[in-house]
Structure 1
Amino acid sequence: MDPRFKISNREALMGIGLAVLNFIWWYAFAYGLGGKPVREYHYIWGLPAWFFYSCVAGFFVFSILVYIMVKFFFKDVPFEDEPERQNLKEEQR
């Protein structure tokens, strides 16, 4: 099996895992804090706390996590097949 597929499968699973964590974060704050009567809401910057934590804070947290994942865990993978790259190198000589 081509090692590029192993790398891309691992990176795809990491991306799916991050998307699932994002959904859990959003759902927990939106329905956890937002399940109360409106009179009991707490507000942050004029927004209900459930909205602030699920949408505003979640956006920044997961944007940083995506940056960290891409910067430190993803690898550059060439799109060309190995024999084609060898032929190209030989032609350039």
Structure 2
Amino acid sequence: MEDKRFKYAHREAKIGVILVIINFAIWYGFAYGLGGQDPTTYTYILGFPAWFFYSCIAGTVFMIVLIAVVIKFFFTEVSLEEEDDGCIGK
């Protein structure tokens, strides 16, 4: 019988990969979508070019919030001790 902890670990690893893909898509989309213009046409937010603000600053804040929500609702705390049944939380 497979340990339940491996089931949780595999699921959480897949979620982690999805989060990385979302982060990259946000960063790439704003950096090259808004940043691929002539620099004389850039708009600025708080002194930063809009592409930089959205891809690096706002994107980072969004990802921190998203990761906190994912950890709170989708991750399961498990014991690393071998004699336990593996599940502490949910």
What TM-score results when the alignment is normalised by the length of structure 2?
A: 0.89
* Cα deviation, residue 72, structure 1: 1.1
1:81, distance to aligned residue in structure 2 (A): 1.4
Per the alignment, residue 6 of structure 1 pairs with: 7
Aligned twin of 1:23: 24
- CA drift of 1:80 comes to 1.2
CA distance in 2, matches of 1:75, 1:45: 39
Aligned to 2:37: 36
Task: Give unpaired runs (5+ residues) of structure 1.
Answer: 87-93
Distance 2:7 2:32 in 1: 37
What is the percent sequence identity of the aligned residues?
50
Provide the aligned C-alpha RMSD in A.
1.2
Deviations 1:2-21 (A, max 9, x none): 11101010001101100111
Q: Which structure 1 residue ranges, 4+ long, deviate > 4 Å from structure 2?
A: none
- Structure with more helix by fraction: 1
Q: TM-score, normalised by structure 1?
A: 0.86
1:91 — aligned with what? none
Number of equivalent positions: 84
Structure index of larger Rg: 1
For 1:8, give the aligned amino acid.
A
The residue number in structure 1 matching 2:54 is 53
The one-letter amino acid paired with 2:39 is V
In structure 2, what residue type is equivalent to 1:25? I
